[in-house]
């Protein structure tokens, strides 16, 4: 094999690129938006990605974990990751001091198929932390507004205090070029001005043409189920329903095996799958 | 392909020449009736009749545990130099072993290249040797009983000689380094090879039908077989460790007491472990052992076909030979198939 | 933990072998002492502070006497993180081997009339009494695991210790299987790894000294051992030696295919 594989490349895909957390913006309880910048100018300038892609973030000494990117490639220079404090790596991440060094590899995964999405209406349906990857697509669409027809966001949270990117999204309600529908399951504050009810109730407030629309869904499993029902009821083609899936990932590059579902690697072939692919993969939904 | 012969009386001398191409590793005995690939000084140590070693050849290129890089505060990351250092010559790789490596080559190449695996692989010469199957071998069913790529040299026993196929330029260098030991192929050599080939083919005792298995696996997704195997399986990880094509690994950081330097490591992982598909926050996509067992078979026989165009099982029999609770892949597949026939 | 974390190292009833492992970290002991503020380590030093709050307390041994229970609860109150060190602390260890007999019966058998001089309770691991933040099992613990745990704790993380079976490490090291090749009563498939299969490396079967691996399939292990000709009492005795207090190792209550 020696001459067949005369290995010369020094590109090691597992080596994180040095970066720093330049700012941390608290969101809701146990959720923060981390703004991260690469150390090297070359990386800052060349790093680009598609909405829906993810990076592997290292807290050196603790470990590495995948995070979907919440910022948009239309605003280069800084990567934003919206993180829930939930496990080994995120616990350590939340404890880091300002300006702490971290490692970033990526971007990985397929991301949303922008070439297919362009020229269509976009319907984004998010629940809970599912807003993290969809915020990237939302910002991308608003920054490239002419490339898309109607842009509709439906986002549900348990209550107003649980809504990610709340102020930024509330501002969008007034904006004419996007239909921003926000809802909460319950509102005890009495201050909530938008909708109350589960996210599927928002479907009554928007006109959606299934033939010219791509739906992108991200949220908890139970939400997937009801939103899918709603979309299928409206005759959405399964190929026009896109979902972002979560799995255990340890390499991000299709080797370590953990994210394998049926015959797809979530890290290479996903994390964005269309619904047809998803129902053909055992264990997927 | 260049084909020559090596008389058996020249074998030991040929092995002697090989050390100039790297440290020679070949099957030797360990325990009462087990074998392992390990360094040998000369031909007399080599167990030529070894059917299967405990671990397959992946151990040389994809280590059970390895340092991916060292880290140190303020100094960044440093890849250990060991990765690219040493040349080895692996002697006595059977066709299924070589197929196993060819499959790992596919996995570790691709869009992203696993530099650790490939760096080591590029420093190794592979010399194949054919074998007589035992009761557990089913490489004929997996079509891995013959190999035509992935070796530098391949030796087939044809009586008092070896027929030697030269697979690469490095293989040719090894032959040239001991040119006087080799001979041109004669008619009786060709006849002997063909005779042996039939003999070998007829000595297989285990056979399963695999061609249409992906479809049957889809059909039997809810089969009781998975529940039964789930009850027997110990989740001990043995089958994955000894499988030539299991490539899953787990990554973790190890810190020194100074709290700032340390290393990122990876170790072989196994999809039968409880936390294999566990995500942060506690959701386990395969909480039940039966679902993990099913996933393992599914990946080997169904998923890998879609990904890489062939099943990843090479029929070496190691998982059966080493399973403490006696789970037999051939038995499991046969049960799945017969259920379909009913 | 911005300043050096305050640490206590204590032992309940037991052989103190795990504390000894800490003391035996000769090359690293100075680093540990340098990175931490060891407030109390009765086995190794006198004049410890027995009242201060602690960031981390390491405890080996089993709760066997009422005073163990009192001490344990007191330490729990003092400490932010409580680490069970060694199989005794994690699983009850050897003291819990005879837990199916009454305490009085065992005491009489072992001590005769002198047994009346002291009180014992059914030996139990620390987790039966208090919340345990991290368990480092082993009889004794592995030095490498201890050091990694300390490094992680100093870094503010809990370490990730192996949660797979001894078989995995045994095969990684390419030792012949003692169950298959020798028919030994080996507990490798159900015992948690971390020892690098030390016993099998010497041709000796695993006797389960590190305690059961999470979700161990005991019923399958028992079945395969019976098939090799071992009697239920051979098997039960071996299962009970180090982790008699572990529910999963009680043969009488074995459920077929738990979590299959």
Query: pLDDT (tens digit, 9 = 90+) per residue, A234-261?
Result: 999 999 999 998 889 999 999 999 998 8
Query: pLDDT (tens digit, 9 = 90+) per residue, B251-261?
Result: 999 999 988 89
| CATH assignment, C6-155 | 3.40.50.700
Range A114-244 has CATH code 3.40.50.80: yes
- Best of C2, C155, C159 to disrupt the A interface (most A CBs within 10 Å) is C155
Residue A10 has pLDDT above 60, yes or no: no
Predicted local confidence at residue B259, as pLDDT = 84
Residue B75 pLDDT level (bands cut at 50, 70, 90): confident
Residue B18 pLDDT level (bands cut at 50, 70, 90): very high
Task: Provide the chain B residues 137-196 that lie in CB contact (below 8 A) with chain A.
Answer: 150-152, 168-170
Helix (H, G, I), strand (E, B) or coil at B241: helix
d(CA C169, CA C153): 25
Mean pLDDT, residues B178-206 taken together = 94
Could you say which of A60, A255, A283 has the minimum Cβ distance to residue B108? A255
Residue B342 has pLDDT above 60, yes or no: no
Instruction: Name chain C contacts of A90, Cβ cutoff 8 Å.
Output: none
**First-last CA distance in chain A:** 41
d(CA A241, CA A231): 8
Residue B9 pLDDT level (bands cut at 50, 70, 90): very high
Residue A1 has pLDDT above 60, yes or no: no
Q: What are the tokens at B334?
A: 């046969």
Predicted local confidence at residue A285, as pLDDT = 54
How far are the Cα atoms of A246, A283, B189, B201, C239 from residue A260, in angstroms, in the given order?
A: 11, 10, 48, 36, 36
Check B249 against A251: CB less than 8 A apart.
yes
Predicted local confidence at residue C247, as pLDDT = 77
Which residue from B minimizes the CA distance to A11?
A: B115
Domain boundaries along the sequence of chain B: 2-202, 213-341
pLDDT tens for the 260 residues of chain C, in order: 448 999 999 999 999 999 999 999 989 999 999 999 999 999 998 989 999 999 999 999 999 999 999 999 999 999 999 999 999 999 999 999 888 888 888 888 889 988 888 889 999 999 999 999 999 999 999 999 999 999 999 988 999 899 999 999 999 999 999 999 999 999 999 999 999 999 999 999 999 999 999 999 999 999 999 999 999 999 999 999 998 888 777 776 666 556 67
Residue B74 has pLDDT above 60, yes or no: yes
Predicted local confidence at residue A284, as pLDDT = 63
Mean pLDDT, residues A44-71 taken together = 95
Architecture of domain A17-107: Beta Barrel (2.40)
d(CA B10, CA B274): 52
- Nearest in space to A271 (alpha carbons), one of A282, A254, C19: A254
Residue B213, H or E segment: helix B213-219
d(CA B211, CA A138): 46
Residue A3 has pLDDT above 50, yes or no: no
Report whether A107 contacts A79 (CB < 8 A).
no
What is chain C's mean pLDDT, rounded? Answer: 92
Better-predicted residue by pLDDT, B288 or B81: B288
- Return the percentage of chain B with pLDDT > 70, whole number: 98
Predicted local confidence at residue A6, as pLDDT = 39
Better-predicted residue by pLDDT, B246 or B309: B246
Mean pLDDT, residues A144-162 taken together = 95
Predicted local confidence at residue C260, as pLDDT = 72
Mean pLDDT, residues A136-141 taken together = 97
What is chain B's mean pLDDT, rounded? Answer: 93
Residue A263 pLDDT level (bands cut at 50, 70, 90): confident
Instruction: Name chain A contacts of B274, Cβ cutoff 8 Å.
Output: none
- Token match 């809810």: residue? B222
Task: Provide the chain C residues 136-155 that lie in CB contact (below 8 A) with chain B.
Answer: 147-148, 150-152, 154-155
Check C160 against A95: CB less than 8 A apart.
no
Check C165 against B270: CB less than 8 A apart.
no
Residue B341 has pLDDT above 60, yes or no: no
Could you say which of A1, A87, A262 has the minimum Cβ distance to residue B168? A1
Which of A33-37, A80-84, B128-132, C30-34 shows the lowest mean pLDDT across its residues? C30-34
Predicted local confidence at residue C118, as pLDDT = 86
Domain boundaries along the sequence of chain A: 17-107, 114-244
The string of DSSP letters for C85-139 reads: ESHHHHH-BGGGTTTTS-HHHHHHHHHGGGGGGS-----B-GGGTS--SEEE-BT
B60 CA to centre of own chain:
10
Query: pLDDT (tens digit, 9 = 90+) per residue, A165-197?
Result: 999 999 999 999 999 999 999 998 888 889 999
Q: How distant is the Cα of A262 from the closest Cα of chain B, in angstroms?
A: 6
């Amino acid at each position: 094999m020696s001459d067949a594989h005369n290995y010369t490349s020094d590109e090691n895909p597992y080596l994180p690129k040095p970066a720093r957390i330049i700012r941390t913006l608290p969101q809701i309880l146990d959720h923060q938006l981390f703004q991260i910048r690469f150390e090297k100018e070359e990386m800052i300038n060349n790093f680009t990605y598609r909405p829906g892609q993810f990076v592997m973030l290292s807290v050196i000494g603790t470990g590495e974990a995948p995070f979907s990117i919440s910022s948009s490639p239309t605003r280069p220079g800084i990567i934003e990751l919206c993180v829930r404090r939930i496990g080994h790596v995120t616990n350590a991440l939340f404890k880091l001091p300002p300006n702490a060094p971290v490692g970033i590899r990526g971007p990985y995964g397929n991301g949303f198929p922008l070439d297919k999405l362009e020229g269509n209406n976009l319907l984004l349906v998010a629940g809970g932390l599912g807003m993290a990857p969809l915020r990237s697509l939302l910002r991308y669409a608003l920054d490239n507004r002419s490339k898309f027809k109607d842009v509709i966001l439906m986002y549900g949270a348990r209550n107003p205090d649980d809504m990610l990117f709340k102020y930024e999204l509330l501002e969008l309600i007034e904006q004419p070029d996007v239909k921003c529908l926000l809802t909460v399951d319950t509102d005890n504050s009495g201050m909530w001005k938008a909708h109350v009810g589960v996210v599927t109730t928002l479907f009554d407030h928007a006109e959606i043409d299934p033939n010219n629309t791509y739906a992108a869904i991200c949220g908890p499993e139970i939400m997937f189920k009801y939103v899918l029902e709603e979309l299928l009821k409206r005759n959405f083609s399964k190929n026009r329903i896109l979902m972002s899936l979560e799995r255990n990932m340890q390499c991000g590059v299709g080797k370590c095996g953990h994210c394998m579902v049926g015959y797809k690697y979530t890290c290479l072939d996903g994390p964005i799958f269309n619904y047809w692919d998803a129902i053909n993969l055992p264990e997927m939904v | 392909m260049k084909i020559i012969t090596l008389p058996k009386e020249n074998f030991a001398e040929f092995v002697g020449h090989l050390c100039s191409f790297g440290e020679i590793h070949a099957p030797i005995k360990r325990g009462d009736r087990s074998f392992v690939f390990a360094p040998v000084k000369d031909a007399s140590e080599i167990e030529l009749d070894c059917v299967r070693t405990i671990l397959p050849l992946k151990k040389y290129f994809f280590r059970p545990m390895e340092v991916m890089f060292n880290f140190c505060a303020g100094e960044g990351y440093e890849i250990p130099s060991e990765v690219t250092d040493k040349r080895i010559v692996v002697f006595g790789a059977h066709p299924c072993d070589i197929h196993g490596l060819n499959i790992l080559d596919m996995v570790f190449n691709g869009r992203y290249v696993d530099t650790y695996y490939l760096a080591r692989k590029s420093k190794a010469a592979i010399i194949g040797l054919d074998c007589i199957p035992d009761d557990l071998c089913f490489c004929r069913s997996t079509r891995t009983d013959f190999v035509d790529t992935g070796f530098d040299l391949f030796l087939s026993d044809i009586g008092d000689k070896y027929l030697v196929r030269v697979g690469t330029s490095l293989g040719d260098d090894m032959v040239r380094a001991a040119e006087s030991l080799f001979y041109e192929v004669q008619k009786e050599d060709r006849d002997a090879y063909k005779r042996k080939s039939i003999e070998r083919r007829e000595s297989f005792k285990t056979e399963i039908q695999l061609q249409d298995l992906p479809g049957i696996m889809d059909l039997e997704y809810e089969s009781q077989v998975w529940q039964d195997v789930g009850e027997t399986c110990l989740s001990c990880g043995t089958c994955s460790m000894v499988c030539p094509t299991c490539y899953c690994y787990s990554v973790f950081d190890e810190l020194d007491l100074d709290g700032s330097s340390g290393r990122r490591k990876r170790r072989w992982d196994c999809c039968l472990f409880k936390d294999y598909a566990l995500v942060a926050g506690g959701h386990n996509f395969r909480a039940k052992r039966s679902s993990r067992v099913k996933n393992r078979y599914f990946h080997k026989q169904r998923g890998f076909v879609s990904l890489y165009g062939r099943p990843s099982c090479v029929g070496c029999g190691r998982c059966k030979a080493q399973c403490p609770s006696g789970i037999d892949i051939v038995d499991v597949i046969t049960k799945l198939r017969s259920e379909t026939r009913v | 933990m911005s300043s050096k974390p305050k640490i206590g190292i204590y032992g309940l009833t037991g052989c103190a072998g795990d504390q000894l492992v800490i003391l035996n970290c000769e090359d690293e002991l100075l680093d540990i002492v340098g990175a931490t503020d060891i407030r109390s380590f009765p086995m190794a030093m006198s004049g410890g502070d027995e009242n201060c709050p602690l960031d981390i307390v390491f405890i080996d041994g089993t709760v066997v006497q009422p005073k163990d229970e009192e001490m344990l609860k007191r330490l729990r109150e003092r400490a932010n993180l409580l680490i069970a060190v060694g199989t005794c602390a994690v699983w009850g260890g050897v003291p819990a081997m005879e837990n199916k007999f009454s305490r009085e019966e065992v005491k009489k058998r072992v001590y005769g009339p002198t047994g009346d001089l002291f009180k014992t309770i059914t030996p139990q691991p620390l987790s039966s009494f208090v919340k345990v933040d991290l368990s480092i099992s082993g009889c004794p613990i592995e030095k490498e695991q201890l050091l990694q745990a300390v490094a992680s704790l100093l870094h503010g993380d809990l370490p990730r210790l192996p949660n797979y079976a001894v078989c995995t490490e045994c095969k990684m090291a390419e030792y012949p299987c003692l169950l298959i090749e020798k028919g030994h009563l080996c507990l490798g498939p159900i015992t948690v790894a971390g020892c690098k299969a030390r016993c099998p490396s010497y041709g000796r079967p695993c006797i389960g000294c590190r305690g059961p691996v999470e979700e161990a399939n005991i019923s399958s292990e028992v079945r395969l051992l019976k098939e090799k000709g071992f009697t239920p009492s051979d098997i039960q005795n071996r299962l009970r030696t180090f982790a008699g207090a572990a529910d999963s190792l009680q043969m009488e209550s074995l459920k077929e295919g738990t979590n299959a």
